[in-house]
Amino acid sequence: MAAMNTLGYGTKRIDNNYGKRKGCGRYYVFFILTVLIIGGVWYILRSGKSSGTAPNATAPGEQTPVAVEAQPDKPMAFADADSQRPVISQQKTYPEAVRLCAEAEKLFTDSQYPQARETALKALASIDDEASPEWDKAARLLGRINIKIFTTNCPLPGKKERYVVQRGDFLQRLANKFNTTVPAIQQANGISLNSNSIMVGQTLFIYNGNWRIKVSKSRYKLYLYDGDELFKLYDVSIGKQDRTPVGSFKISSRTLNPDWYAPNGEKIPFGDERNVLGTRWLRLTSTDADKNNLTGYGIHGTWERDSIGQSRSNGCIRMLNEDVEELYSIVPINTEVVIED
């Protein structure tokens, strides 16, 4: 037992071990604080290391993050505000073509068709990008002018000349001679489409064209050329699931108000709502030696106007009825047709 000093009444008993216990308590507090500080630092360091580099450290239900391979030779690029702005492409414009088209339109309005045609051709030649709106406008304008010349008695030197009917002439013979069609001669000379009557000495205006057709599947366009010059541009529909074949063809027959033979062999007469051929049919026969087995293809009209500009047919080239009727009146049998992607 520890020794105690007695100082009498009113005095305190002094424990000699009290100072020792008090000093030990201070050591305990210091030790606990030190452990807590070291533990806190260790936890922070461990947490930072786990979030940055620990592999496969994912919570239940989460996906393992995909590591991005470092590129030591290239500094990491940080997106800034400018890099997030959309890039506005500067489309090339053709002010000279715009001016020429306006001039051609004015000449056309004034019934100066040959001059309007030459001006529209110049506008088209001044444009080197077929995808531009100026090219499309010039092509459409040129087509309107050409059709006006083609379907009226307007002369066009070098292309549409006066012809005086000789003994023994008849419309189909003249159509074959001038590489045109009977409807074309009738329209240009005010002859009824139901009449084949012409008289000796009668003056006719006949367009002698060098026709060829190109179809672009990717652009959904049919280009009618007279020699190397564009005559008219048409919008078309092509086969769904890439069913329209590419290659070289010729027009082998022409049919007015055609019947349609369904895939099951059933004959669907013209006028039946199930008939998909519209008002005209131009049969295509392949001229490629390795594609002689391609049959049943052609250029025809359609009642489905919203199908134009889309891939909706079973493989044929579809046109609006009014467009295929116009084309039918222009191109004769044996006209070359090239279909390309």
| pLDDT value, residue 25 | 56
Average pLDDT, the chain: 83
| pLDDT value, residue 73 | 45
pLDDT tens profile 73-127: 444 444 444 445 555 556 788 999 999 999 999 999 999 999 999 999 999 999 9
- CB neighbourhood size of 150 (10 A): 24
Lookup: tokens for 11: 């005095």
H or E segment to which residue 30 belongs: helix 18-53
In the chain, which ranges are E strands? 160-164, 203-207, 211-216, 221-226, 229-235, 238-239, 247-256, 260-261, 267-268, 280-286, 298-302, 311-313, 317-320, 336-340
The full set of domains in the chain, from first to last, is 93-151 (no CATH), 236-340 (2.40.440.10)
The pTM of the whole model exceeds 0.85:
no
| pLDDT value, residue 58 | 41
Catalytic residues: 300, 316
DSSP 11: P
**Can you tell me whether residue 277 is helix, strand or coil?**
coil
Residue by residue, DSSP assigns 35-93 as HHHHHHHHHHHHHHHHHHH-TT---TTPPPPPPPPP-TTSPPP---TGGGSPP------
Q: Residues in the chain with pLDDT < 50?
A: 1-15, 18, 20, 50-83
pLDDT tens profile 6-33: 434 344 444 455 454 555 556 665 666 6
Rounded to 10°, the helix 133-151/95-109 angle is 20
Buried b (16+ CB within 10 A) or exposed e, 249-284: bbbeebbeebebeeeeeeebeeeeeebbbbbbbbbb
